[in-house]
Structure 1
Amino acid sequence: MKVVQFTIPVSKEQTIVVQEDILPHYYNHLHRHREVQIEWVVKGTGILIAGNYMQRFESGDVYVIGANQPHLFKSDDVYFQGEEDKKIHSISIFFNHGQLSENLLQLPEMTGIRKFIDGLHNGMQLPESDVIKNTIAEVVASRESLRVASFICLLHHISTVRNIKPLATNNNEQLISEAEGMRMDEIFQYLVTNYKRHISLTEISEIASLTPHAFCRYFKKHTDKTFVGFLNELRVNEACKMIVSGKFDSFSDVSYKTGFDNVTNFNRVFKKTIGRSPREYLRDFREKVM
């Protein structure tokens, strides 16, 4: 089995590293890096796991991933089928928080931005903003000192945004070791691949090379969720995708295709997770589209 590196190095040749990718799918392994990452999903859909946070990502979403925060952008299955017109388009901006704090952010005019950056441990999802996306595009298009100037504008805009959604409720996961990171990646890979069928506690414990009791404690420690809770959340996220696509015959059909054993359990878990029943979720989506 190939060992996937957990801590990914980022080029140190520049203070601000910009990476634009048009690829079949996102890099689909749990990983981290010491740099803060601003991620604009220009085009693509899937599941984002960051610390103890999980939700679907959609085209147009903008996220900030904290330094050393383990994360995984898992593209939807359709992106792994080799279709030429199914590609993701992403723009990533990486910067070293410590390096900026020691130099650029020491200017008195940068106090507000510095305080904001210091609180980025858990990452965040930014609300829809054309201003932020346009400024990200300016950072990509600029070079040398002009890129730095555009980047400062971007940090200013982000630091003044309201209604920011944190990506995690704690930052304990940032202390995870390389070995634990690779083990958690193996667990996540198994779950996101097999969630449509029944996965027993014994089965997933064997994947992690732990006893069932030890696995429960281990998983709770690193995700702040129970195994069943995490698996149900993953299934509900996939159910939401099916519901908004309209490609289903009934809610019983959605239940079966996302791994729930019966529609009653599906309705209960869905409402507990989303706060609305599947039928209410579909109604609200249709009203929003109209």
Structure 2
Amino acid sequence: MKPLLFKIAKSEEQSVKVLEEDYPYFYDSLHYHIETQIMVILEGRGTYFIGDAIGNFTAGDIFLIGSNLPHFFRSDPSYYAADSCLRAKNISILFALENLGEAFLNLPEVYPIKSLLQASKRGLQVHGSSRERLFRAAQKASQKKGLRRILHLLKQLNHLVMSEEITTLSHIVFEPMSSPGDTKKVNSVVHFIMLNFNKDISLADAADVANLSTNSFCRFFKKHTRKTFSQFLNEIRIGHACKQLIEEAYSVKEVAFDSGYYNISYFNRQFKLITSYTPSEYLKAHKNTRNLAN
């Protein structure tokens, strides 16, 4: 994947930068940065792309995005409507502990944090009580100044080191690359898919967006996303279907059609392949999880 290198502006007085962002929708172009990022979703929902992982996010979710890991968060379609009053709010904590020196990171007491940061290069999602703790800590981070902010961050990272409530997202570690032309093509194709996934779109349609032949596009897309066009499209469609099942209480047939599937048997096969559940099993598992949480 060859995303846009995103340079984080920060003053000489800040080695840990805290951004409190409030926009109509989340920044939705593929990018990466050398800083590690703690992404806390305060308000909004949509689809995340982190490395080769695709999934849904909502308010309260927290992600640890490692150095040079390609990612973006795309808000649901309703956020892009001209008359939308919805907001996308988040706290981002950006830092590069490598600036403290290799000797510091190799201290026995600090080395576990170094290992956590290495793991974050595949993207991590924080759950349960660890998420609740980090959520509260992130809200206090902007109030900390100077050394207190660094110590506050190290304290939270140390808690994450000991947590068993963390999920690894991407299957592979991505190497940093930069090619504006390729980045533009990848983003154009992804945006096209996100706008049209519930329609009957084809490989040729996506190839036209990238201005490539179908054969060239297949190689290009697999190289930059680690997925075939069909895999990528199905993951977007099934992710949408999961949200529809949970939030809208539609029937399986309605969800299938709304997600771009006109063959129920094929929809059921893809749903089981991607989620490891049938639609009815998925809905039952979600209800059980929600009841336990309550």
TM-score by length of 2: 0.90
Compared CA separation, residues 74 and 274, structure 1 to 2 (3 A): same
**Alignment-mate amino acid for residue 142 of structure 2:** V
1:181-240 Cα deviation digits (max 9, x unpaired): 222111111111110111111111111122111211221122221111110110000011
Provide the rounded CA distance (Å) in 2 between the counterparts of 1:139 and 1:278. Answer: 40
**Alignment-mate amino acid for residue 5 of structure 2:** T
Aligned equivalent of 2:59: 59
Aligned equivalent of 1:109: 109
Quote the RMSD (CA, aligned, Å).
Answer: 2.0
Aligned equivalent of 1:287: 288
Q: 2:191 aligns with which of 186, 189, 192?
A: 189
Compared CA separation, residues 7 and 154, structure 1 to 2 (3 A): same
Greater mean deviation of Cα atoms: 134-143 or 48-57: 134-143
1:6-37 Cα deviation digits (max 9, x unpaired): 22211231100100112211011111112111
Cα pair 1:30 1:181 within 8 Å, conserved: yes
Secondary structure (helix, strand or coil) at the match of 1:38 reads strand
Cα pair 1:24 1:82 within 8 Å, conserved: no
Secondary structure (helix, strand or coil) at the match of 1:54 reads strand
Q: 1:132 aligns with which of 118, 131, 134?
A: 134
Q: Are 1:222 and 2:224 matched, yes or no?
A: yes
**Alignment-mate amino acid for residue 281 of structure 1:** Y
Compared CA separation, residues 85 and 259, structure 1 to 2 (3 A): same
Post-superposition shift, 1:259?
A: 0.7
Q: 1:151 aligns with which of 133, 150, 153?
A: 153
Cα pair 2:98 2:105 within 8 Å, conserved: no
Q: How does 1:1-290 map to 2 (within 5 A)?
A: 6-13=4-11, 14-82=14-82, 85-102=85-102, 105=105, 107-128=107-128, 129=130, 130-172=132-174, 174-248=176-250, 250-290=251-291
1:50-80 Cα deviation digits (max 9, x unpaired): 1211000121111011212111100111222
Unaligned runs of 5+ in 1: none
Cα pair 1:173 1:222 within 8 Å, conserved: no
**Alignment-mate amino acid for residue 152 of structure 1:** L
Provide the rounded CA distance (Å) in 2 between the counterparts of 1:268 and 1:285. Answer: 19
Provide the rounded CA distance (Å) in 1 between the counterparts of 2:221 and 2:181. Answer: 14
TM-score by length of 1: 0.91
Q: How many aligned residue pairs are there?
A: 285
**Alignment-mate amino acid for residue 114 of structure 1:** K
Provide the rounded CA distance (Å) in 1 between the counterparts of 2:223 and 2:126. Answer: 27
